[in-house]
Structure 1
Amino acid sequence: MNAPPVSRPASGRRPSLTRQLLLWSLGALAIVWGSFVFIGYQTGVHEADELTDGHLASVAALLLNLRATEAMEGPQRTERTPTPWLKSHDYQQTISVVQWDAQGRVLSITGSVPEPPFSDAEGFADLTLGPDKVAWRSFSQWDAGRTRKIMVMLELRERDELADDIAGQLIEPGLWLLPVVSLALGLALWRGLRPLYALSADVAALDPTSAQRLASRHAWSEFESVVASINTLLDRQQVAMVRERRLANEVAHELRTPLSSIALQASALAGELTEEARAQALARIGQDALRAGHVLNQLLALARASRAELHEAKAPVDLSALARSVCADYAQAAWKRGDDLGLSAPTALTVPGHAVLLDIAVRNLVENALKHTPEGTQIAVQLGSADAGGAWLQVCDDGARQQAGGAPGRAAAVPVDSLHLGHEILRRVADIHGGHFGAAPAPAPFTTCYRLDLPSPSAPAAG
């Protein structure tokens, strides 16, 4: 059954790293900028308050030293001369002054302030005066002899306007600067990510079927591991593709022979044949069908090996128990051929691996020994522990000696897959387990031996 296609988002909906970086950068910039604006506004208000209070205190000290009311009799109110042209200056303020004698009699009032109540207290104060309840900021002070008191006043509205003006002057450059910095930041990010765009374009242009590799122009330190990993994957893919193409060609060749023979024999059956020729044709069709079926079974085993590599986790496997089970399954087939199938293994031999794949490997070794040797062959399945903590399994036979001896009644078995698909399966299983498979020196009295070595659990996987 074909796997369902993996759904991929449309290119227009795919998230952009550039947009993500720009949004995060602008977000961080906006937060920092907003913090500076808030702090700047608070600083402007604070400085305006200090400036106003200092101005009130300075005017009070100046007027106390001038003693301008000593020649006046009775309270005097002096309205401020209208000077509308001065309002264009942001820091020009309307100051009102009230003076009392020691008994609390008003000596003079300058400005538009209503007459405030007299008090002995000195210093800054916030007052609400007049029928309109206007808020005023005041500073009052006695002279050295406490014979005269002066109060300098300013509407809080003017002070707040001054504070807003100062704070606005501090904020305004930031308002103009933010879009400029955002534009410059976007251009800088785009320019800085150009190597990533180039790497992405080169990766997209790679042809997996060719021997092409990523160029060395992506020699940025941040890209070293990525480029090396991609090139390593490409190399492994090339090796795998070469191996798969070779395997596909061999399988096609191996299947072509029995299928062609089946078609030829089937055509012959359509003609006039003797009973003996018809029986031989049917027998040949049966043999060729079994041969093609065996090749297909080997292909299915290869597919299971690949699937197990991707989806199954390694687990402890008792290799001795597995080998005993396989030998028991093939004991009947060995007895029918007159073979001697033996097992030499410790009571328990546990290795980490895929039980399904190891079972396939042992069965292939035993099956190959049964099908590629003449009848009456002595076959031995041997297991043991390696010095480094791993394990090994080998299947040996004396088929070559039986073939050379030519014992009567012992016909050589016809090879089922001359291209060693079974060995290809064993190599795949060995690669998955980080081990090695190949021919091994045959101990006496055997002539052929194939061995599967499995590493210890702590040993690094090969490849």
Structure 2
Amino acid sequence: MSALAAGQRTLSGHLLAWALGALAALWLGFVVVGFRTGQHEADELTDGHLASVAALLLSEATNDFADPRRVIPTSDGDNLRAHDYQQSLSVVVWDAGGHLISRTGDAPLPPFAIAEGFATLELGTPAVPWRSFARWRAPAHDRRVMVLLSVAERDDLAWDIGTQVAEPGLWGLPVVALVLGLAIRRGLRPLDALSAEVLALDVQRAAPLQPRLRHQEFEAVVRAIDTLVARYHAALAREQQLASELAHELRTPLASLSLHARLLRGKTADEAERQQSLQRIEQDALRAGQLLGQLLTLARASRTELAEAAQPFDLAALARRVVAEYAQAALDARHELVVEAPPSWGLSGHPVLMELALRNLIDNALAHTPPGTSIAVQLDAGERWLQVCDDGALAAQKPAPAPAAQGAAARHALGLGLGHRVIDKVAAVHGGRFEQRPAPAGFSTCYRISLP
């Protein structure tokens, strides 16, 4: 048991895995979007920085700049990169004729004929990319300024900002996963409590689960478990009652068998007594055999209810087939057996059980009515019922039958009253009911199975 339990998946683990999977996918999307947004904003920041420096230089009223023959590197002297976000900008200034006025920074000298605005230039040997912003001083167009920044330095800044934006998300995922796991485990406590109650349920007692305030989602499960327990105990009670009745019914024929067997063994019995004892033994043996047959039929009905799934079948065709099989028995007993059914009647259920019920109804009608009785098997698909009617009480007022017919009727009249119990069981399996109904015109007795 422990090895099996160790290999089983838990609902909490299943929920946690799906929740974490969805959260990780969503979180990863947020991290990627945050990283790319950080890089984009870093690019916008550097471009704005280039434009701001150019505007600042263009606002200078004088054209006195440092000697253009002396390039002032940004790394000369003190360390100008004192801040993580401080960038090494290069500045080039020309006059209106394109003559170089000033040059500051590490960038190679760019060409003068570059359109205004932002551009990415390949400068130097070997050529490397530089981000630039060029602009004339308006409206005189007497000074042109270009500010440049290494694309590699620009990308480093973008990567740094993007990482700073995305890093909290990477650190936050394990924390959220831990909190989510604890929340799922706490949220599943009502289910664990219900499982413990079901595990502790005593199936030998007809006690439902303890009534208490539960979550709405569990109400259907609790009702199903209570219904199952009630049905189990009802079936157990019926089987116990049936076992008692069968034991009582079997006791009489078995005792009679034993008594008449002793009489046959005795030497004082004359031939007439011996024949009477033999006839009684035959009847008691048939009686015991019918009891066992009814017991097996009920057991089969119970097994079919629990083990076999409902299937579609045509009840009208089934009734016609069963009646046809009883034609010879009805003829031998001088009964008239007919079926009144629609062309077809589709049902979903257990055709084997319905056939057992119909056979019991026909058997009872043949066994408990005198010769000359008319027996009708009637079906109504609209009202959804099946019934077997006979005019046995009317036929009893007719002249007595011939001895051969009396013998046939006697052979049938071994019914034990258990057939109705079988029919009631089959009707209950199909959600219907079995009852005696007022007989229609021309009949004296009628038993009906009403289906939902």
The answer, yes or no, to whether TM exceeds 0.5 is: yes
* Closer, same or farther: CA 386–71 of 1 in aligned 2, 3 Å: closer
Residue 119 (structure 2) aligns with: 125
**One-letter amino acid of the structure 2 residue matched with residue 328 of structure 1:** A
Residue 58 (structure 2) aligns with: 64
Matches within 5 A, 1:235-314: 235-259=230-254, 285-306=281-302, 310-311=308-309, 312-314=311-313
Residue 16 (structure 1) aligns with: 10
**One-letter amino acid of the structure 1 residue matched with residue 423 of structure 2:** L
Q: Is the 8 A contact 1:377 1:399 kept in 2?
A: no
1 CA distance for matches of 2:31 and 2:14? 25
Question: Which sections of structure 2, spanning at least 5 residues, go unmatched?
Answer: none
2:435 to 438, 448, 451: 438
CA RMSD of aligned residues (A): 3.9
Q: Which shows bigger deviation, 426-435 or 206-215?
A: 426-435
Question: Which sections of structure 1, spanning at least 5 residues, go unmatched?
Answer: 1-8, 335-339, 456-460
- Compute the displacement of 1:202 (Å): 2.0
2 CA distance for matches of 1:302 and 1:349? 30
Q: Deviations for 1:371-404, whole angstroms, at most 9, x for unmatched residues?
A: 557xx565442345669734432245349979xx
Residue 315 (structure 1) aligns with: 314
- Calculate the TM-score normalised by the size of structure 2: 0.80
Q: Which shows bigger deviation, 69-78 or 97-106?
A: 69-78
1 CA distance for matches of 2:439 and 2:150? 111
Residue 420 (structure 2) aligns with: 423
Residue 328 (structure 1) aligns with: 327
Q: Deviations for 1:116-169, whole angstroms, at most 9, x for unmatched residues?
A: 232252222212222243321111222233232222111111111111111111
Q: Is the 8 A contact 1:262 1:288 kept in 2?
A: yes
Residue 3 (structure 1) aligns with: none
**One-letter amino acid of the structure 1 residue matched with residue 290 of structure 2:** H
Equivalenced residues, count: 435
Residue 389 (structure 1) aligns with: 383
Residue 35 (structure 2) aligns with: 41
Matches within 5 A, 1:25-104: 25-66=19-60, 70=64, 72=66, 75-80=69-74, 81-84=76-79, 86-87=81-82, 89-104=83-98
Q: Deviations for 1:79-102, whole angstroms, at most 9, x for unmatched residues?
A: 333544844x22111111122233
* Closer, same or farther: CA 400–279 of 1 in aligned 2, 3 Å: same
Q: Is the 8 A contact 1:60 1:151 kept in 2?
A: yes
* Closer, same or farther: CA 421–211 of 1 in aligned 2, 3 Å: same
Q: Deviations for 1:319-339, whole angstroms, at most 9, x for unmatched residues?
A: 7735742552323552xxxxx
1 CA distance for matches of 2:439 and 2:121? 113
Q: Is the 8 A contact 2:388 2:447 kept in 1?
A: yes
Q: Which shows bigger deviation, 199-208 or 93-102?
A: 199-208
1:451 to 443, 447, 452: 447
* Closer, same or farther: CA 127–324 of 1 in aligned 2, 3 Å: closer
Identity fraction in percent:
46
Q: Is the 8 A contact 1:342 1:380 kept in 2?
A: yes
Q: Is the 8 A contact 1:368 1:422 kept in 2?
A: yes
Q: Is the 8 A contact 1:56 1:139 kept in 2?
A: yes
Residue 175 (structure 2) aligns with: 180
Q: Which shows bigger deviation, 132-141 or 152-161?
A: 132-141
- Calculate the TM-score normalised by the size of structure 1: 0.79
**One-letter amino acid of the structure 2 residue matched with residue 325 of structure 1:** A
Indicate whether 1:224 and 2:223 are aligned. Answer: no
Q: Is the 8 A contact 1:127 1:136 kept in 2?
A: yes
Residue 6 (structure 1) aligns with: none
